[in-house]
Amino acid sequence: MQDLSELTQRASELDGNDPIAHIVEEYERPEGWIFFDSNSVGPVPKTARPAANALIDDWIALRRRGWAERDWVDMPAILGDLLSPMIGAEKGTTVVCDNTTINLYKATGHALAVNQERTIILTQKDNFPTDIHVVQGFERANPSLEVRYVETEEEALAALSSDVAVCTFSHVGYKSGQRWNMEKFNRAAQALGVLTIWDVSHSAGAVPVLARESNADYIVGCGYKYLSTGPGGPAFIYVRPDLSEKAWPPVCGWMGHADIYAFAGDYEPHGGIRRFISGTPMVGANQIAHCAAQIYQKFAPKDIWARHESLSNFFIEALQQSCGDLGVEIASPLNYNQRGGHVTFKAPGAGHVVEALIDAKVVSSFRKPDAIRFGLSPVSLTHAQVVEAVGRLQKILKEEIWRDPKYANVSV
Amino acid sequence: MQDLSELTQRASELDGNDPIAHIVEEYERPEGWIFFDSNSVGPVPKTARPAANALIDDWIALRRRGWAERDWVDMPAILGDLLSPMIGAEKGTTVVCDNTTINLYKATGHALAVNQERTIILTQKDNFPTDIHVVQGFERANPSLEVRYVETEEEALAALSSDVAVCTFSHVGYKSGQRWNMEKFNRAAQALGVLTIWDVSHSAGAVPVLARESNADYIVGCGYKYLSTGPGGPAFIYVRPDLSEKAWPPVCGWMGHADIYAFAGDYEPHGGIRRFISGTPMVGANQIAHCAAQIYQKFAPKDIWARHESLSNFFIEALQQSCGDLGVEIASPLNYNQRGGHVTFKAPGAGHVVEALIDAKVVSSFRKPDAIRFGLSPVSLTHAQVVEAVGRLQKILKEEIWRDPKYANVSV
């Protein structure tokens, strides 16, 4: 088994040469702990606590006047504009609201209204459950629709036809960490009039998502993972500008009306993306989300993505070097362009190892039956922390610490 | 013009005899201010600030482990159970999630699936915009559906037929403050197989809502008004227990699955109300909502409702006595059983009066063209505050303070 001194030296050089190394200062970093769970809950902006207290202050002092005196009503669009560079979108094309499931539903319903003469919905067999459930709900409600399942990118391309209304795919598989080629697929789909919905929950905020450049139709995703909008924080939806106005959204609501202050009875959808806002914004959650959104204004997305590439390539290298002979096997693609925010690997004891890692102050996550996932935050981790964590893992595997009965119960 | 000494004396007696007068101690009451805007944003539980900070603590320390070590996942059902007495519902019949628009959508879609051979949706012409927009969205998406509009309870009863799939009504009109008779309407609807959805945003937490006793089919409502779940806090949905399982919800999502930890591809709806949860819960918002929900465990709903009746009847009496000769006219029904959480009245200068009241530290709200609304919180107001506020209003009207140019701009 290799000692880590060379890796430690490399980490020091990589951190030293990192042009945005100071980005980690924007986030809380509790002493001693190393978090690799940004694929579940991202890091905490230092401004989150004052923002939460400011909201309580406003609630006490302003009450309903907050609607007029604060940005409570406009925040879904404000946040959409602030986060849009992280998904390669232009201003005015993205709103932050609801959760990913609801936004998947809105995108699917809208796409089916645009392509209403078509009957097939494609999705991935291994897609995240909620993504599959949403389209199964549409299939159930409309007997003329049929959901078809594909496993690989090749299969997906082959399944395209002029009968397909819409595809709903995860950009990055939540288990495998495998990233699909959005641009290539969008081009093939568009040639046949097929609409595409990409769930970028496991890529946005970590690896490049290029809404405009890839000519995506719909993009939805989770805010509380790499993008740090806070536990259960709001999700987002992007719709290609020339597509938004081709149909009403399925959920028509007051906050998506063309003129909310008219209190009009008859629904008239807002021009562009705002029609995809449904009802009252999640004011408190948005205020927390705004903290992370502001940090992104200080750094170029390409620098953040480059940082993720460096951290995760280095993680794989360190893992292979130091734990390769301890039974660790990388399950994610080794080619960075085929990977998402997290690296999945297999190791003896899997779930128990994840529990033992927590005792060693390293937080990762486990997915049945035998996958360990390390979600790498490009905004709060350092290369030095990567080596440190790999060292702690090495010790757990080498000394078989994970066999201790106290790690028998594995949380999911 | 009457002086207020007799009313002040009456208020003192009413407060003195109030069996739950101490409930107001549970809420923040900033010095000098009197809030009558619980029809927009309700009062702040004193526990809200520590709860917000505890969430930030958990986010920093636990990150993804919060899903397992805290009640983040189960909170929609926990909150539903805690709040259900305030809508006269049994445990296990209500969940707290999403916003009112989304919940109206879920209820309507479910009702249309249950009554799928029927084609008519009834709603109120003066319903809150989002309630109307939701059903217009269904009408747009399905050409066989037709929305019909009614104005009065009599008209609504007369419009019932075996072609009507579902009615979606506000229990209390957001402008008029008029309360409809749920029980009477439910009975008539049920006799014809018509399903009913009640939006109780302007009644829940103020006046009796009796889900079970009135045999309501669906009830949805806003959390952040009288129920104090915080600005943009989560809404709720109740579905009659024997009705939930008659169809899938329109938005099928992971969190409504029968076994969320199975990460199953195929959707299988949870038994009962939990199928109406869509995706990831609003963790932070739920934590704030939990503060108010806990307060409700210490007081009987009937005592809270009695307190609202006393406060709002006293408000009308005080208003008529002290401002009747200053042009004030009550627009809400005078019969308490026909009123909701707020009292609407007309006064010379309306919107300007509301602005001048804010300068006098009384917060109410204005609705075009000429309505002033006082939303009376039964948990944070006292009878003494009611007289005090009416006195400040009297002064503004008598001295025509509202004509000051600084009150020219009226916020909505």
Question: Of the candidates A339, A166, A149, A300, which has an alpha carbon nearest to the alpha carbon of residue A240?
Answer: A166
Closest chain B residue to A279, measured at CA: B101
Write the CB contacts of A143 (distance below 8 Å, at least 6 apart in sequence).
none
Q: Are residues B257 and B157 in the same domain?
A: yes
Would strands A164-170 and A362-363 be described as parallel, antiparallel, or unpaired? unpaired
Question: How far, CA to CA in Å, does A25 sit from each of A45, A231, A233, B268?
Answer: 9, 20, 22, 44
Q: Are residues A89 and A189 in the same domain?
A: yes
Q: Are residues A216 and A79 in the same domain?
A: yes
- Would you call B140 and A53 a contact, using CB atoms and an 8 Å cutoff? no
Does B412 score more than 80 pLDDT? no
Interface test with A, best of B27, B67, B75, B130 (most A CBs within 10 A): B130
Contacts of B288 in chain A (CB under 8 A): 284
Give the pLDDT band of residue A1 (cuts 50, 70, 90): low
CATH of the domain at A200: 3.40.640.10
Per-position DSSP letters for A339-364, written without gaps between them: B-SEEEEE-TTHHHHHHHHHHTTEE-
User: Closest to A99 (Cβ–Cβ): which among B100, B132, B278?
Assistant: B278
Q: Are residues A290 and A313 in the same domain?
A: no
Domain end marker among B270, B298, B326: B298
If you search the block for the tokens 């900070």, which residue do you land on?
Answer: B53
Chain A to chain B Cβ contacts (< 8 Å): 266
Q: Are residues B36 and B185 in the same domain?
A: no
Burial class (CB in 10 A: 0-12, 13-18, 19+), B234: buried
Domain end marker among B246, B264, B298: B298
Each residue's pLDDT tens digit, A308-345: 999 999 999 999 999 999 999 999 999 999 999 999 99
| Contact by Cβ (8 Å): B341, B206 | yes
- Would you call B265 and A129 a contact, using CB atoms and an 8 Å cutoff? yes
In terms of residue numbers, what domain contains B330? 5-46+300-404
Residues of A designated as active site: 128, 199, 224-225, 373
Q: Domains in chain B: how many in total? A: 2
- The values of phi and psi at residue B406, to 5°, are -70, -10
Question: How far, CA to CA in Å, does B275 sit from each of A185, A279, A287, B168, B260?
Answer: 33, 21, 29, 21, 11
Q: Are residues A318 and A231 in the same domain?
A: no
Asked whether residue A57 is assigned to any structural domain, the reply reads no
Each residue's pLDDT tens digit, B164-200: 999 999 999 998 899 999 999 999 999 999 999 999 9
- Would you call B249 and A137 a contact, using CB atoms and an 8 Å cutoff? yes
Question: Of the candidates B291, B285, B366, B328, which has an alpha carbon nearest to the alpha carbon of residue A64?
Answer: B366
Asked whether residue A259 is assigned to any structural domain, the reply reads yes
**Token couple for B192:** 């014809």
Contacts of B281 in chain A (CB under 8 A): 232
Each residue's pLDDT tens digit, B199-244: 999 999 999 999 999 999 999 999 999 999 999 999 999 999 999 9
Residues of B designated as active site: 128, 199, 224-225, 373
Q: Are residues A259 and A320 in the same domain?
A: no
Interchain CB contact of A168 with B (< 8 Å): no
Domain end marker among B248, B274, B298: B298
- Would you call A98 and B100 a contact, using CB atoms and an 8 Å cutoff? no
Q: Are residues B154 and B234 in the same domain?
A: yes
Each residue's pLDDT tens digit, B294-304: 999 999 999 99
Asked whether residue B409 is assigned to any structural domain, the reply reads no
Torsion of CA B302, B303, B305, B308, to 10 degrees: 170
Read off the pLDDT of each residue in A223-228 and give the average, rounded to a whole number. 97
Asked whether residue A254 is assigned to any structural domain, the reply reads yes
Interchain CB contact of A127 with B (< 8 Å): yes
Write the CB contacts of A40 (distance below 8 Å, at least 6 apart in sequence).
A225, A365, A375, B63, B64, B67
Closest chain B residue to A62, measured at CA: B363
Each residue's pLDDT tens digit, A6-63: 999 999 999 999 999 999 999 999 999 999 999 999 999 999 999 999 999 999 999 9
CATH of the domain at A393: 3.90.1150.10
Q: Are residues B252 and B109 in the same domain?
A: yes
Asked whether residue B61 is assigned to any structural domain, the reply reads no
Question: Of the candidates B321, B341, B332, B342, which has an alpha carbon nearest to the alpha carbon of residue B393?
Answer: B321
Residue type for A108, please? T
Asked whether residue A62 is assigned to any structural domain, the reply reads no
Write the CB contacts of B11 (distance below 8 Å, at least 6 apart in sequence).
B314, B382, B383, B384, B386, B387
Interchain CB contact of B269 with A (< 8 Å): no
Contacts of B141 in chain A (CB under 8 A): 109, 113, 248, 250
Q: What is the pLDDT of residue B326?
A: 96
Interchain CB contact of A22 with B (< 8 Å): no
| ipTM for the complex shown | 0.97
Cα separation, A293 vs A273, whole angstroms: 19
- Would you call B231 and A279 a contact, using CB atoms and an 8 Å cutoff? no
Would strands A146-150 and A120-124 be described as parallel, antiparallel, or unpaired? parallel
Q: Are residues B17 and B97 in the same domain?
A: no
| Contact by Cβ (8 Å): A354, A372 | yes
> What percentage of residues in chain A have a pLDDT greater than 70?
99
Interchain CB contact of A60 with B (< 8 Å): yes
Cα separation, B143 vs B8, whole angstroms: 59
Interchain CB contact of A269 with B (< 8 Å): no
Q: Are residues A25 and A99 in the same domain?
A: no
Q: What is the pLDDT of residue B270?
A: 97
Question: Of the candidates A344, A388, A383, A379, which has an alpha carbon nearest to the alpha carbon of residue A364?
Answer: A344
Contacts of A60 in chain B (CB under 8 A): 28, 30, 44
- Would you call B52 and A53 a contact, using CB atoms and an 8 Å cutoff? yes
User: Closest to A98 (Cβ–Cβ): which among B59, B102, B132?
Assistant: B102
Q: Are residues A261 and A284 in the same domain?
A: yes
User: Closest to B257 (Cβ–Cβ): which among A113, A133, A235?
Assistant: A133
If you search the block for the tokens 């302003």, which residue do you land on?
Answer: A62
Cα separation, B301 vs B312, whole angstroms: 16
Cα separation, B39 vs B203, whole angstroms: 9
Each residue's pLDDT tens digit, A132-191: 999 999 999 999 999 999 999 999 999 999 999 999 999 999 988 999 999 999 999 999
User: Closest to A230 (Cβ–Cβ): which among B59, B133, B233?
Assistant: B59
Write the CB contacts of B37 (distance below 8 Å, at least 6 apart in sequence).
A63, A64, A65, B363, B364, B365, B375
- Would you call B285 and A41 a contact, using CB atoms and an 8 Å cutoff? no
Each residue's pLDDT tens digit, A288-311: 999 999 999 999 999 999 999 999
Question: Of the candidates A320, A292, A290, which has an alpha carbon nearest to the alpha carbon of residue A304?
Answer: A292
User: Quick one: CA dihedral B305, B307, B310, B312, positive or negative?
Assistant: negative
Closest chain A residue to B249, measured at CA: A137
Q: How far is A111 from chain B (nearest CA, A)?
A: 12
